[in-house]
Amino acid sequence: MIQLQQLIFFEKIAEKNSMNKAAEELYISQPNLSKAIRNLESELKIKIFERTNKGVKLTEDGYKLYKYVKTIHKQVDMIQSIALKEIPNSISVAAYPCPILYKVLGEFHNRNKEQYIEVTLKEERVQNIIESVANLQSDIGIIEINDVQKKEVRHLLESKNLEYHELAKNTWYAHVGKSSPLYNQETIEMSQLVDCTIMRSPDDYFSNLSYLFEVDGIHFTQFEKTMFVNDYFTRLRLLNMTDMVCIETAWDKELEKEIGVRAIPIANCNIQISMGWIKRKKENLPVKVLDFIEILEQLF
C-alpha cells in the first residue's frame, strides 16, 4: 500500500531534481530514499524518474503523479489546519438554475463581507445535485421537482439518506420576449407553442419524465424544435432578442420584466412544481450554511 511518506519523499525529489539534495532536506540517507522511490515505482508499476548528468528528472508518468501529489499535499495541509483552527469558512451549494440565487448570494455577502468565506455555487440538473450532496461535494442542494418527478426523486433521496425541505410551490409559465408574437397575450394556449422553438436546460433522467405531461391534449413530445441552454441568464437574454419560448417556473417576474421578458400563464396548466433544499440526514450544518438557508427561506 502506498504510504503518505513515500509521496512526500517523491515530491521533494521532484522539486530538487536531485536525490542528494532531497535526502539532505528530509534528513534521510540516500540509500533509504532510493529504496522508498523504487518501492513506489513498483507499487504503481511505472517509472517516475530518469537519471541525468545533473541529477534526476520526472518522466511523463512521473509528472502526472507529481500533479496529483501536489493536490494531495494541499488537502493534507487543510486537514492539519483544522486542529489549528485555521481552516477557512466555506459553503458549497449545488443548485437547479434559479433567478433567486443571485439575490441570496448578494444578501449573504452583505451580511458577511467582513469575514473571509469561500462560497461555491454550481448550477446542475436534479440528478447531479442529489449525487453532489450525497457524495459530500456540496453542503446542500437546491432542487425543483414536478408532480411526475416527485415519487422518483423522493425515492432516490431516501436511498441516499437525504432529506428535503420545501421552500415554495409554483407552476409552469411561457416565458417570451418582445420579439415573440405572443408577448402581449394574457394567457397562452399550448397549441400556440407547438411550432415555436422551445429553449430549456439540458435533459437528465428526471427532466425526461416531464415528457409524460400533457396539457390541453398537447403532449410535451410534440415540441420538435428545441435549444438546450444551461445558464438561466443566457436564456433570458436569448428570449429578449429572439422569438423563442421557455416553459418553466417564474420565481422572479420583476427581474424578467427589467430585461424585457414576460412570464405568461399557460391555459389549463395545473402542473405543480416544488422548490426546496436538501441535506444529509442527521448531520448538523455549519453556522454559515444555516445563514445561507435562512436568507434562502426569507426570499422564497
Chain length of the chain: 300
Between the alpha carbon of residue 236 and those of residues 35, 89, 230, 257, the distances in Å are: 61, 33, 11, 10
Assign a CATH topology to domain 4-83.
Arc Repressor Mutant, subunit A (1.10.10)
Closest CA to 265 of 254, 244, 249, 242: 249
Question: Using CB atoms within 10 A of its CB, is residue 62 exposed (0-12), middle (13-18) or buried (19+)?
Answer: buried
pLDDT in tens, the chain (300 residues): 778 888 888 888 888 888 888 888 888 888 888 888 888 888 889 999 888 888 888 888 888 888 888 888 877 777 776 665 555 678 999 998 887 888 899 999 999 887 888 888 998 888 899 999 998 889 999 999 888 888 888 999 999 999 999 999 988 899 999 999 999 999 999 889 888 898 887 777 776 666 567 777 777 777 788 888 878 888 888 998 999 998 888 877 777 777 788 889 988 888 888 999 999 998 888 888 999 999 999 988
Assign a CATH topology to domain 89-168+275-299.
D-Maltodextrin-Binding Protein; domain 2 (3.40.190)
CA atoms within 13 A on the CB side of 53: 0
Assign a CATH topology to domain 172-271.
D-Maltodextrin-Binding Protein; domain 2 (3.40.190)
Ranges of beta strands (E only) in 124-222 are 140-146, 162-170, 173-177, 198-200, 214-215, 218-219
Closest CA to 73 of 6, 1, 16: 6
Tell me where in the chain the CATH 1.10.10.10 domain(s) lie: 4-83
Cell representation of residue 78:
487543510
Q: How much is the pLDDT for 68?
A: 86
Spacing of C-alpha 104 from chain mean position: 16
Q: How far apart are CA 29 and CA 23, in angstroms?
A: 6
115 CB contacts (<8 Å, ≥6 apart)? 89
Q: How far apart are CA 140 and CA 143, in angstroms?
A: 10
Tell me where in the chain the CATH 3.40.190.10 domain(s) lie: 89-168+275-299, 172-271
Angle, helices 101-112 vs 287-299, to 10°: value is: 130
Torsion, CA 26, CA 32, CA 33, CA 35, rounded to 10? -160
pTM over 0.75: no
Contacts of residues 62-69 at CB distance under 8 Å and 24 or more positions apart, as own/partner, are: 62/14, 65/10, 66/10, 66/11, 66/14, 69/7, 69/10, 69/11, 69/14
Q: How far apart are CA 64 and CA 69, in angstroms?
A: 9
